[in-house]
């Protein structure tokens, strides 16, 4: 029994990957599900879709792998997305409110105006923003008829997506989460390692709703026997960006990774001590093993791969994401389009939830190629903003290479531009499925199948290293143009 099943429940699709005893990929399956946009700035998922697509892809991946005996399951998930369900029936009281959702922006402004921001940041490491789970949970309790009374009576359970999947997988026997997901709710004291009574009272959230918080590698119960033919232990859980940090073997302070999925998330390992940011970055838990948390600075970009989806679904100038690279290569070098993809607000280090996207430099000759190049470049510019802020908060000796992963990292063009605009080395691993790999490693480590941190770090393998080729004066001009565009966009 040396195979591990990794569940990677993301924002636009659910995926399942079977790994062998050497952490090699044996089989995988993926299924997209519907995105719901009830109003401008609102984003929801049907909880049933999250579960059904997860169960279906798990079965499909196991079948593709030849039905091996699965030793354990690791779960990684889109973070901050908020669900509330009835403990007895398992029925959700509302659609899941997705991390991208901005409906609680006004309440966040009220919290800041009332002076609660510093206390919340001090305890949770997070900024007061609609991004996180707490205000979404309060909105459900305030707006779903009878929800608050049922919650106070102990009838309702809250969870991020990992908790929902654990509940469904174990047939309601386990209501738990891990420290990395708890740290993203804006309800968890990352210093004391427990739910904050003060913040729960401030938001009117009964603590009986909250899941038990465990290590990333721990016992999270067993699956229902009828799901996969036999009960399988769930032994690893981490939020997607923390799982990618593990999958990239960023175990040493100063190591950085950046994942390019729907959004872009850069994490810098700061070791056993949390670093308070002066540049509006987040202080968070990178992972927690054997009861000991390791901390990180994180910068979050809301729109990365999603800008390519916009080219496909919104503008309809491409049919497949793979078309963006050849399009970008054909773009007119004399045109300097700058796209600020603030479709759901600007994330770090700006944190402007009401800001919306804009494009600058259009001419009569601007077409699909120029739009594709501007879309890919926008991800590089936003990453530079994050790294500049990180270096101002915590600058280790030297400039460490940035390890990248996620769908967009497969584009040589995008990664070369990233290296150029950062002025630093960008390393892409052989295994791009680092998020799922991180979850699998947690489960395998807990069951004695996979090596410890040192052994896992030695197994990390480089696919390609990108070195900056852009002239410094060109880089400076481009960055200045980007910053002017961002300032203009925020002023509209």
What are the percentages of helix, strand and coil residues in the chain, rounded to 5?
40, 25, 40
Is 443 within the bounds of a domain?
A: no
Distance (Å, whole) CA 387 – CA 374: 20
Confidence of residue 50 (pLDDT cuts 50, 70, 90): very high
In the beta sheet, which residues pair with residue 298?
267, 282
Q: Which residue has the tokens 């480590």?
A: 445
Q: Residue 429: helix, strand or coil by DSSP?
A: strand
Percent of the chain with pLDDT over 90: 71
Contact predicate 88/155, CB 8 Å: yes
β 402-405/426-429 pair status: parallel
- Are 326 and 465 within one domain? yes
β 256-260/402-405 pair status: parallel
Confidence of residue 431 (pLDDT cuts 50, 70, 90): confident
Cis peptide before 108 (omega within 30 of 0): no
Choose the weakest-confidence range: 52-56, 222-226, 458-462.
Answer: 458-462
Is 447 within the bounds of a domain?
A: no
Angle at CA of residue 451, ends 449 and 452, nearest 5°: 125
Contact predicate 176/212, CB 8 Å: yes
Last residue of a domain, one of 182, 209, 239: 239
Q: How far is CA 405 from CA 5, 119, 259, 265, in A?
A: 20, 34, 5, 10
Is the pLDDT at 396 greater than 80, yes or no?
A: no
- Are 157 and 268 within one domain? no
Mean pLDDT on 16-22: 94
Distance (Å, whole) CA 188 – CA 191: 9
123: domain range?
3-239
Percent of the chain with pLDDT over 70: 99
pLDDT value, residue 87: 95
Is the pLDDT at 388 greater than 80, yes or no?
A: yes
- Tokens, residue 182: 């708890």
- Tokens, residue 141: 């309790």
Is 260 within the bounds of a domain?
A: yes
Last residue of a domain, one of 191, 218, 239: 239
Angle at CA of residue 149, ends 143 and 152, nearest 5°: 115
Comparing CA positions, the residue from 294, 284, 258, 310 lying closest to residue 425 is 258
Is the pLDDT at 251 greater than 70, yes or no?
A: yes
Q: Which residue has the tokens 């890919």?
A: 376
Is the pLDDT at 293 greater than 90, yes or no?
A: yes
- Are 170 and 94 within one domain? yes
Other Cβ atoms less than 10 A from the Cβ of 116: the count is 17
- Are 175 and 26 within one domain? yes
pLDDT value, residue 344: 79
Is 445 within the bounds of a domain?
A: no
- Are 125 and 227 within one domain? yes
Is the pLDDT at 327 greater than 80, yes or no?
A: yes
Confidence of residue 141 (pLDDT cuts 50, 70, 90): very high
- Are 254 and 216 within one domain? no
- Are 172 and 310 within one domain? no
Is 453 within the bounds of a domain?
A: no
pLDDT value, residue 5: 97
Helix (H) or strand (E) holding 212: strand 212-214
Q: Which residues contact 52 (CB under 8 A, 6 or more apart)?
A: none
Is 244 within the bounds of a domain?
A: no
Confidence of residue 278 (pLDDT cuts 50, 70, 90): confident
Question: 419-429, pLDDT tens digit by residue?
Answer: 999 999 999 99
Is the pLDDT at 398 greater than 70, yes or no?
A: no
In the beta sheet, which residues pair with residue 292?
289
In the beta sheet, which residues pair with residue 45?
96
pLDDT value, residue 170: 97
- Are 104 and 162 within one domain? yes
Is the pLDDT at 349 greater than 90, yes or no?
A: no
Confidence of residue 346 (pLDDT cuts 50, 70, 90): confident
The number of domains in the chain is 2
User: How many Cα atoms occupy the beta-carbon half-sphere of 383 within 13 Å?
Assistant: 35
- Could you write out the three-class secondary structure of 158-196? EECHHHHHHHHHCCCCCCEEEHHHHCCCCCEECCCCEEC
Distance (Å, whole) CA 468 – CA 473: 13
Mean pLDDT on 307-316: 86
- Are 313 and 215 within one domain? no
Question: 438-463, pLDDT tens digit by residue?
Answer: 999 999 999 899 999 999 999 888 99
The DSSP code sequence of 317-355 is --SSGGGHHHHHHTS-TT---EEE--BTBB-TTT-BTT-
Is the pLDDT at 137 greater than 90, yes or no?
A: yes
- Are 219 and 301 within one domain? no
- Tokens, residue 210: 């909250």
Is 259 within the bounds of a domain?
A: yes
Q: Which residues contact 364 (CB under 8 A, 6 or more apart)?
A: none
Other Cβ atoms less than 10 A from the Cβ of 123: the count is 18
Last residue of a domain, one of 215, 239, 263: 239
Q: Residue 402: helix, strand or coil by DSSP?
A: strand
Question: What backbone phi and psi angles, to 5 degrees, belong to 58?
Answer: -60, -50
Rg (CA), the chain: 22
By CB neighbour count within 10 A (0-12 exposed, 13-18 middle, 19+ buried), where does 282 fall? buried
Confidence of residue 397 (pLDDT cuts 50, 70, 90): low
> What is the model's pTM?
0.86
- Are 325 and 359 within one domain? yes
- Are 31 and 137 within one domain? yes
Comparing CA positions, the residue from 78, 277, 54, 302 lying closest to residue 181 is 78
Average pLDDT, rounded, for the chain: 92
> What's the CATH code of the domain at 59?
3.30.420.40
Is 419 within the bounds of a domain?
A: yes
């Amino acid at each position: 029994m040396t195979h591990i099943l990794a569940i990677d429940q993301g924002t636009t699709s659910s995926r399942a990957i079977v790994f062998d005893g050497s952490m090699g990929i044996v089989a995988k399956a993926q299924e997209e599900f519907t995105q719901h946009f009830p109003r401008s700035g609102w984003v929801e998922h049907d909880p049933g879709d999250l579960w059904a697509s997860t169960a279906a892809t798990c079965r499909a991946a196991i079948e593709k792998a030849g039905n091996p005996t699965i030793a354990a399951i690791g779960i990684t998930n889109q973070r901050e997305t908020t669900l509330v369900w009835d403990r007895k029936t398992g029925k959700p009281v509302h659609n899941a409110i997705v991390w991208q959702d901005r409906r609680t922006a006004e309440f966040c402004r009220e919290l800041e105006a009332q002076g609660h921001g510093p206390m919340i940041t001090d305890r949770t490491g997070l900024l007061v923003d609609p991004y996180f789970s707490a205000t979404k949970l309060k909105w459900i309790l305030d707006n779903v008829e009878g929800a608050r009374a049922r919650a106070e009576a102990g009838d309702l359970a809250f969870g991020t997506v990992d908790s929902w999947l654990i509940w469904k997988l174990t047939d309601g026997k386990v209501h738990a989460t891990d420290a990395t997901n708890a740290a993203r709710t804006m309800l968890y004291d990352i210093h004391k390692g427990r739910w904050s009574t003060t913040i729960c009272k401030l938001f009117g959230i009964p603590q009986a709703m909250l899941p038990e918080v465990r290590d990333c590698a721990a016992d999270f119960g067993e699956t229902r026997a009828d799901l996969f033919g036999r009960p399988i232990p769930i032994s690893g859980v981490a939020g997607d960006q923390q799982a990618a940090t593990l999958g990239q073997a960023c175990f040493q302070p100063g190591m950085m990774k950046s994942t390019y999925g729907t959004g872009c998330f850069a994490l810098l390992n700061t070791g056993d001590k949390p670093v308070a940011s002066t540049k509006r970055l987040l202080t968070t838990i990178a992972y927690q093993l054997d009861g000991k948390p390791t901390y990180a600075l994180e910068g979050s970009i809301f729109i990365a791969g999603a800008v390519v989806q916009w080219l496909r679904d919104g503008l309809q100038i491409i049919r497949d994401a793979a078309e963006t690279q050849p399009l970008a290569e054909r773009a007119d070098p004399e045109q300097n389009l700058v796209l600020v993809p603030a479709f759901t607000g600007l994330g770090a280090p700006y944190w402007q939830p009401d800001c919306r996207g804009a494009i600058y430099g259009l001419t009569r000759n601007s077409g699909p190629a120029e739009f594709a190049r501007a879309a890919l470049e926008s991800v590089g510019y936003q990453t530079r903003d994050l790294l500049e802020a990180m270096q101002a908060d915590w600058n280790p000796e030297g400039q460490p290479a940035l390890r990248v992963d996620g769908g967009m990292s497969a584009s040589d063009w995008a990664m070369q531009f990233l290296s150029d605009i950062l002025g630093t080395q960008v390393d892409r691993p052989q295994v791009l499925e680092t998020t799922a790999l991180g979850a699998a490693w947690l489960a395998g480590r807990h069951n004695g199948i996979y090596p410890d941190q040192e052994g896992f770090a030695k197994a990390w393998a480089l696919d390609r290293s990108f070195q900056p080729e852009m002239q410094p004066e060109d880089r400076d001009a481009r960055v200045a143009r980007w910053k002017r565009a961002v300032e203009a966009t925020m002023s509209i």
